[in-house]
Copies of this chain bind each other. A is one copy, B any other.
Amino acid sequence: MSEIPVIKIGLCGFGTVGQGVWKHLTRSRADLEKRLGARLVLHRVAVHNLRKQRLVKIPAARLTDDAMAVATDPGIQIVCELMGGTGLAREVTLAALRLGKSVVSANKALICAHGAEIFATARKHGGHFLFEASVAGGIPIIKALREGLVANRFPRIYGILNGTCNYILTQMEEQDAPYESILAEAKRLGYAEADEALDVKGWDAAHKAAVLAWLAHGVWVKPRQMVVEGIDRITPADFKNAATLGFGIKLLAVIVRDFDTDELSVRVHPTLLPEGSVIANVNGVYNAISVTGDVVGTTLYIGRGAGQDATASAVISDIADAASLLRCGRGAQLIADETLPARNGCKLAPPEHILCRYYLRLTVRDQPGVLARVASVMAGHHISIASVIQNPSETADAASLVLTTHQSHEKAMRSTLRDLARLASVIEVPVLLRIGDFND
């Protein structure tokens, strides 16, 4: 019998996720080692500040404040980059990959900004870059897309990819409370960052959408190329109007590919979903992803989108995959090798090509004839109105005018918005939400 191989792991970054990985890997190591046929050793940990007190105690000899030293340590085969950011994190990732090591990452912003470079480097030097934790926390959606559903092309992927936004929207609806007070509460509870912009403006979900779009379609889409709209203009009244119309409101990432025109649309925006649909009922910090494959049909995945434990679960599964690949030797390859543009050929759809139904909320002067003027503007752009709700507004002498449209083109809708904003009777910047007619 040959000796059981030893695989040494280095952690760069020891915040919430890093400590979760240490804690759970220490707990499950005996099981994992039996199943992998290899010993897993947490060899070295790079922290930002050596003197900081931490809940998870690790021997001082294993600690360093030099992340690059961990990434280039000749004894270490698997490097977990859990620092975040796109500066040092990129250098550490590339340095480890250039040495043929495998890198496990939860860093969607890094992947989004430098994915092509990272995967090419991994491929060139025979290592692997694994990133299950970068999208939807503990839900094994990366593995599902790349391996479990490998027989499929993906006409549509959509879902809730940001737990902070989903928590805020859920609380706004349940408590009938305004955005600002729920955001403050979420910050107190640790569900929102001190600087909430990345989450509530939709950019975090856009990064994750970019990762999924690339996995599914082999194309890197930059968030700035997408329609990205956040949740910060939604009001409790929007939830009431949506409920009247039979909808809930979720911040969705939507990745749609038309295999006839080969146009790919990737976007993030608040969306009205039929209130009976499964995703409309996924609440709080949970994430949910609907994946429609051309062979399998629609499959749906729900779970916690973030947090120490869910993210650690994903990082450890990547460590196990990396260890498994290491045992196979240098030539071992993942299914769905990233650098092969197997499913390329699609082009990015201009945002104007979006075709959907819309929900439009206008704050207007409370006087006769306003609806006629609004309707006239919409008719001028061939936008067909499906329903109208008029309510008193919170603004004095104003009314709230809520319109839904039949299927319309984004291009016409944008021109409509521009013209409506110019009407003297329209007081505030209109709020435009899209209606998701996904039928599942």
Report yes or no: B333 in contact with A312, Cβ–Cβ below 8 A.
no
Nearest opposing residue in chain B for A277, CB measure: B281
Q: Which residues of chain B are within 8 angstroms of A334 by Cβ–Cβ distance? A: 324
Report yes or no: A335 in contact with B281, Cβ–Cβ below 8 A.
no
Give 10 A-B contacts (CB < 8 Å), ordered by A residue: A24-B295, A140-B144, A151-B313, A295-B309, A297-B304, A298-B303, A299-B301, A320-B335, A324-B333, A324-B334
Restricting to A126-156, which residues have a CB under 8 Å from any CB of B? 132, 137-140, 143-144, 147-153
Report yes or no: B35 in contact with A335, Cβ–Cβ below 8 A.
yes
Contact of A321 among B147, B304, B310 (CB under 8 A): B147
Report yes or no: B300 in contact with A150, Cβ–Cβ below 8 A.
no
A310 to B293, CA, bound (A): 9
Report yes or no: B302 in contact with A278, Cβ–Cβ below 8 A.
yes
Q: How many copies does the complex hold?
A: 2
The stretch of A58-66, A101-109, A337-345, A407-415 in contact with B is: A337-345
A3 to B327, CA, bound (A): 24
Interface centre among A36, A150, A300, A336, by most chain B C-beta atoms within 10 angstroms, is A150
A288 to B317, CA, bound (A): 22
Answer yes or no: A51 CB below 8 A from chain B CBs: no
Answer yes or no: A276 CB below 8 A from chain B CBs: yes
Answer yes or no: A329 CB below 8 A from chain B CBs: yes
Report yes or no: B340 in contact with A34, Cβ–Cβ below 8 A.
yes
Interface centre among A335, A337, A340, by most chain B C-beta atoms within 10 angstroms, is A335
A152 to B320, CA, bound (A): 12
Q: Which residues of chain B are within 8 angstroms of A295 by Cβ–Cβ distance? A: 24, 28, 138, 309-310, 312-313, 316
A153 to B34, CA, bound (A): 14
Q: Which residues of chain B are within 8 angstroms of A297 by Cβ–Cβ distance? A: 138, 303-304, 309-310
Restricting to A410-429, which residues have a CB under 8 Å from any CB of B? none
Answer yes or no: A25 CB below 8 A from chain B CBs: yes
Known A-B contacts: A28-B295, A34-B342. Give 16 more (CB < 8 A).
Answer: A31-B153, A36-B335, A137-B296, A138-B296, A150-B320, A295-B316, A296-B303, A296-B304, A297-B303, A299-B303, A299-B304, A300-B301, A321-B335, A328-B329, A328-B331, A329-B329
Answer yes or no: A332 CB below 8 A from chain B CBs: yes
Answer yes or no: A74 CB below 8 A from chain B CBs: no
Q: Which residues of chain B are within 8 angstroms of A310 by Cβ–Cβ distance? A: 295-297
Nearest opposing residue in chain B for A288, CB measure: B300
- In the assembled complex, how far is the CB of residue A134 from the closest CB belonging to chain B, in whole angstroms? 14
Q: Which residues of chain B are within 8 angstroms of A317 by Cβ–Cβ distance? A: 147-151
- In the assembled complex, how far is the CB of residue A242 from the closest CB belonging to chain B, in whole angstroms? 18
Restricting to A32-51, which residues have a CB under 8 Å from any CB of B? 32, 34-37
Q: Which residues of chain B are within 8 angstroms of A276 by Cβ–Cβ distance? A: 281
A132 to B309, CA, bound (A): 27
- In the assembled complex, how far is the CB of residue A184 from the closest CB belonging to chain B, in whole angstroms? 26
Report yes or no: B151 in contact with A316, Cβ–Cβ below 8 A.
yes
- In the assembled complex, how far is the CB of residue A393 from the closest CB belonging to chain B, in whole angstroms? 32
Report yes or no: B139 in contact with A299, Cβ–Cβ below 8 A.
yes
Nearest opposing residue in chain B for A303, CB measure: B299
Contact A150 B35, CB 8 Å, known A328-B329, A331-B327? yes
As a 0/1 sequence over residues 275 to 297 of chain A, the CB contacts with chain B under 8 angstroms (1 = contact) are 01010011000000000010111
- In the assembled complex, how far is the CB of residue A250 from the closest CB belonging to chain B, in whole angstroms? 14
Q: Which residues of chain B are within 8 angstroms of A302 by Cβ–Cβ distance? A: 278, 299-302
Contact of A31 among B278, B316, B342 (CB under 8 A): B342
Q: Which residues of chain B are within 8 angstroms of A31 by Cβ–Cβ distance? A: 153, 342-343
Report yes or no: A35 in contact with B151, Cβ–Cβ below 8 A.
no
- In the assembled complex, how far is the CB of residue A309 from the closest CB belonging to chain B, in whole angstroms? 5
Closest 5 CB pairs of A and B: A140-B148, A299-B303, A138-B296, A151-B316, A328-B328
A336 to B28, CA, bound (A): 13
- In the assembled complex, how far is the CB of residue A121 from the closest CB belonging to chain B, in whole angstroms? 19
A303 to B290, CA, bound (A): 10
A151 to B310, CA, bound (A): 10
